[in-house]
Amino acid sequence: MTNAIFSTWNDKLLDGRSSNTTFTSEQVGLPLTYAEDKDVNAIIGWSGIVLNNENTNIVSLACEYVKAVSMITCGECSIGFHGVKMSEDILNNLVQGTGSAGDADKLLYIIENMKSNTKCNFCSSAMKAVHDCLVYFKNDFEVASSPHEPYKKASVIVNVSAPCVEACPIHQDVPGYINLIKNGRYDDALELIKRNNPLPECSGNACMASCERNCVRKDIDKPVAIRALKRVACEYGTSNPVEPTKLNGEKVAIIGAGPAGIAAAKRLISLGYRPVIFEMNNGYGGMLSTGIPEYRLPQEIINKDYNEIIKLGAEFRGNTPISQVKDISGAYKATIICNGATLSRPSNIEGWTENDNGMYQGIHYLKSVYNKKIMPVSEHVVVVGGGNTTIDCARTALRQGATDVTILYRRTMSEMPAYKEEIDAAIKEGIKFEFLTIPVKVQRGENKVVEVVCQKIELGEPDESGRPRPIPIPGTEYTIYCDKILSCIGELPDTSIYGSKINLTDDGRVLTDKYGATSAKGIFAAGDCVNGPSSMAEAMASGKRAAEGVDLYLNKNSKIKQSKQEVFDTYHQAFLEKNVDEAFNFKMEKQESPVAELTYIRDNYEQVEKVLSKEQAEREAERCIKCYKVMMIARD
């Protein structure tokens, strides 16, 4: 167990140098090792410096760190920009042995002035750590200012992120593309987005936007419209046309063309492999097309993203369901399973019969509508659940001709996992909500559902998920008349195709390591079949990681930097924290995306949300306060 000897993290001074005391990770407030047991010598970042190994060369550490900070400093104020540049020069001299007496004082003068008067928090908080070095390791800087042999360069891992970036599973450079949009550089914004997003159009239109839920601006007024701005970049920007890439690598099979599969394909192409995608449906998209209704994500938008990756060099075999993984895995050096979570959890409502006339699992209902297997009828519909599928089902039911739609949810509106905008849109379209309610029994009449018996709930202590546990209240049963009931209580992967060599978790998901490797050699898995039902962005991240896993497996000289990833994962929580002083930030009005005024709703699958205008987009982009944070880890 590594302990720290010195720390200023989180404004807490822990100095055990003279007393030979050490401090635990809890005391410091940061992990002190990564990947369970790998030692860190020092950590330096936006909140201070932590030292585990007393022999670390502080001057050279500070120098490397300021080099990293200097890559990010923006230049919106000269005090920050030039302050960082000057510090870099001085530190460089100190490391090279070409410094002079008084350098430490100059550095202190510059940094003290930066701390009090920069435009945003970035440079001032980033340089606080160097200030700490100067104050608490004064002697080291004085020694460095007399002539000496150049110091050895520390071996470091740098991570730059922001609370929004960190909350995004694929780590989009949110402030980066927003700043480009602010300056009207739509083409560049799109290029930047595409660097780590294989599906810019799809995510611009229908991402769950976990970034927005962690946007610092949320504490000032409202989160920046990060997703809508991505759509803006896709709409007004043109990126370089893609050219088919020359690929000489091995062929890799991918089962399923959902977001995990296509993200894996794109990453494999960038690593030189030739991905072959087997898809049971005819078209592109997997759950994106069958699970997200057209009024949110039209098929032509999905096709735009997919066509590009196919053109890059992915082979697509549609209408090709795989009944056993081993049927194809034998012919490929590696296989990535991305078959999603397409089977429904058994419903525990009394009287429920699977896919019976009038009773549907949510995702099957959406898929049947997508495949035009269910025709619009006037009827009363009840939807059970609180996630995005629930809202999708409810709004789709309305478009399928329902006269009224009621959502039953066992907690309250604030606990609903569904996207806030979607809930609002559902309310606007006239969907009714019954909160703190569960269905207990479906009553059937002749050949069809006639009513559902409900029961009221009270909320108890928080459960494992942190949300209050629902407890039914006896004697509160009542009935709602309905013709159709849709249950959206979660999905599981179709495990029948896996065979016996692939180990599963207790609840029926594929068990993998961090890089998607399953227990069967050469077989990887990614997306919902590993994580359970989750977002498009999580699926993309997981697909990408599995592609890297394939490279680590097939290529002895793989360039995938595992330790870098381990460090990123270790300090994820610290980067997620929002620590911008909002006291003096101006409130700025959020630009809302225009919405289609639907004059009729039955059979109308027009996309409801419209794109922001350029003027709106540039104004919205002004709201981003660029909350970048830098952290550097030194190993030996």
Q: Are 333 and 228 in contact (CB under 8 A)?
A: no
104: tokens are: 């430490």
Q: Are 416 and 427 in contact (CB under 8 A)?
A: no
Tell me how many residues contact ligand SF4 (CB under 6 A): 14
Q: Where are the beta strands (DSSP E) in 338-377?
A: 343-344, 359-361
Q: Considering the rule CB under 8 A, would residue 98 count as an interface residue with another protein?
A: no
Question: In degrees to the nearest 10, what's the CA dihedral of 468, 471, 475, 479?
Answer: 70
239: tokens are: 């990126």
Say which residues have a Cβ less than 8 Å from residue 529's Cβ, sequence separation at least 6. Answer: 337, 338, 339, 340, 341, 493, 509, 510
Among ligand SF4, another protein, none, partner that 342 touches (CB below 5 to 8 angstroms by kind): none
| Residue 180 exposed, middle or buried by CB count within 10 Å (0-12, 13-18, 19+) | buried
231-290 positions binding another protein, by CB under 8 A:
none
Helices (H), 78-150: 78-96, 103-116, 121-136, 138-144
Contacting range for another protein; rule: CB under 8 A; set: 19-27, 177-185, 521-529, 599-607: 177-185
Strand partners, 361: 487
Nearer to ligand SF4, 624 or 634 (CB): 624
Among ligand SF4, another protein, none, partner that 627 touches (CB below 5 to 8 angstroms by kind): ligand SF4
Q: Considering the rule CB under 8 A, would residue 85 count as an interface residue with another protein?
A: yes
Nearer to ligand SF4, 588 or 601 (CB): 588
- DSSP 8-state symbol, 216: G
Residue 589 CB, shortest distance to ligand SF4, in Å, is: 15
Region for 452 from its dihedrals, namely left if φ exceeds 0, alpha if ψ lies in -120 to 50, beta otherwise: beta
Residue 248 CB, shortest distance to another protein, in Å, is: 28
- Of the candidate residues 18, 55, 116, 414, the single one contacting another protein (CB under 8 A): 116
Q: Considering the rule CB under 6 A, would residue 175 count as an interface residue with ligand SF4?
A: yes
- Of the candidate residues 165, 264, 394, 550, the single one contacting another protein (CB under 8 A): 165
Contacting range for ligand SF4; rule: CB under 6 A; set: 42-50, 159-167, 181-189, 479-487: 159-167
Rg (CA), the chain: 27
Q: Considering the rule CB under 6 A, would residue 363 count as an interface residue with ligand SF4?
A: no
Among ligand SF4, another protein, none, partner that 216 touches (CB below 5 to 8 angstroms by kind): ligand SF4
Nearer to ligand SF4, 463 or 577 (CB): 577
Q: Considering the rule CB under 6 A, would residue 174 count as an interface residue with ligand SF4?
A: yes
Tell me how many residues contact another protein (CB under 8 A): 43
546: tokens are: 């599995």
Q: Considering the rule CB under 8 A, would residue 188 count as an interface residue with another protein?
A: yes
Residue 623 CB, shortest distance to ligand SF4, in Å, is: 7
Q: Considering the rule CB under 6 A, would residue 394 count as an interface residue with ligand SF4?
A: no
Among ligand SF4, another protein, none, partner that 76 touches (CB below 5 to 8 angstroms by kind): another protein
- Tracing tokens 């994500």 back to the chain, one arrives at 297
Region for 97 from its dihedrals, namely left if φ exceeds 0, alpha if ψ lies in -120 to 50, beta otherwise: left
Q: Are 187 and 232 in contact (CB under 8 A)?
A: no
- Of the candidate residues 129, 158, 168, 192, the single one contacting another protein (CB under 8 A): 192
- What is the secondary structure of 543-569 as a DSSP string? HHHHHHHHHHHH-TT----HHHHHHHH
The H helix count followed by the E strand count for the chain is 24, 24
Q: Considering the rule CB under 8 A, would residue 480 count as an interface residue with another protein?
A: no
Among ligand SF4, another protein, none, partner that 184 touches (CB below 5 to 8 angstroms by kind): another protein
Contacting range for another protein; rule: CB under 8 A; set: 186-194, 312-320, 445-453, 467-475: 186-194
Q: Write out the H or E segment, with its range, that includes residue 306.
A: helix 299-312
Over the window 583 to 612, marking each residue x when it contacts another protein by CB under 8 A and - when it does not, the resulting string is: xx-x--------------------------
Q: Are 142 and 104 in contact (CB under 8 A)?
A: yes
Q: Are 343 and 529 in contact (CB under 8 A)?
A: no
- Of the candidate residues 160, 328, 450, 554, the single one contacting another protein (CB under 8 A): 160
Q: Considering the rule CB under 6 A, would residue 215 count as an interface residue with ligand SF4?
A: yes
Q: Considering the rule CB under 6 A, would residue 627 count as an interface residue with ligand SF4?
A: yes
Q: Are 416 and 386 in contact (CB under 8 A)?
A: yes
Distances (CA, A) of 541 to 1, 132, 447, 557: 31, 37, 45, 23
Helices (H), 440-527: none
What is the C-alpha to C-alpha distance for residues 175 and 195, in angstroms, rounded to an integer?
14
What is the C-alpha to C-alpha distance for residues 617 and 233, in angstroms, rounded to an integer?
9
45-74 positions binding another protein, by CB under 8 A:
71-74
Q: Considering the rule CB under 6 A, would residue 224 count as an interface residue with ligand SF4?
A: yes
Among another protein, ligand SF4, none, partner that 328 touches (CB below 5 to 8 angstroms by kind): none
Nearer to another protein, 103 or 434 (CB): 103
Of how many residues is the chain composed? 636
Residue 216 CB, shortest distance to ligand SF4, in Å, is: 4
Query: Which residues lie near another protein (CB under 8 A)?
Result: 71-79, 81-82, 85-86, 89, 110, 113, 116-119, 160-162, 165, 173, 175-176, 179-180, 182-185, 188, 191-192, 195, 583-584, 586, 618, 626, 628
Residues that bind ligand SF4 (CB under 6 A): 162-164, 174-175, 215-217, 224, 226, 624-627
